Amino acid sequence: MIPHYTDHAANERTYLAWVRTAIAVMAFGFLLERFDLFLAFAMATAPRPAVALNSRATELLGLGLILLGAWMTLLSTLRYRRNRRQIDDTETHGYTDTGPQRALSWLVVIMGVFLAAYVARQLIAIAA
């Protein structure tokens, strides 16, 4: 039997959850980067001509989310490796290093607020 197997399994499950989240963030970033196709279709089907919509912001936000997902993968890998070493260590270690996780959470919240404001602005422009 592997010593501390349940701790190692929990560490691996946490790591895989971070990787899945990073993949989802990157996929959402790719979707946003291609959001201009949706806007072009919406403008083509609008009952009256709409003002020109700026899709540069969605491209930048999409790129930002793709980079954020890559950063999340890197940080989660580093954290997984650190926790793996600490589980096998005989010394007692405190729980530390939540700064990167907080930073990632705030970045996602900020990008979500920006995206909501951007989409609302674009929908108002289409409806006007």
- The domain spans of the chain are 5-127
What are the pLDDT digits (tens) for 48-57? 655 555 567 7
- Considering the entire predicted model, what is its pTM? 0.71
Judge residue 41's burial from the number of C-beta atoms within 10 Å of its C-beta, 0-12 exposed, 13-18 middle, 19 or more buried. exposed
Q: How far is Cα 81 from Cα 66, in angstroms, rounded to an integer?
A: 23
What are the pLDDT digits (tens) for 33-45? 777 677 667 667 7
Q: How far is Cα 54 from Cα 91, in angstroms, rounded to an integer?
A: 56
- Provide CB contacts within 8 A for 123, sequence distance 6+: none
Q: How far is Cα 118 from Cα 62, in angstroms, rounded to an integer?
A: 13
Q: How far is Cα 97 from Cα 55, in angstroms, rounded to an integer?
A: 37
What are the pLDDT digits (tens) for 2-30? 788 999 999 999 999 999 999 998 998 88
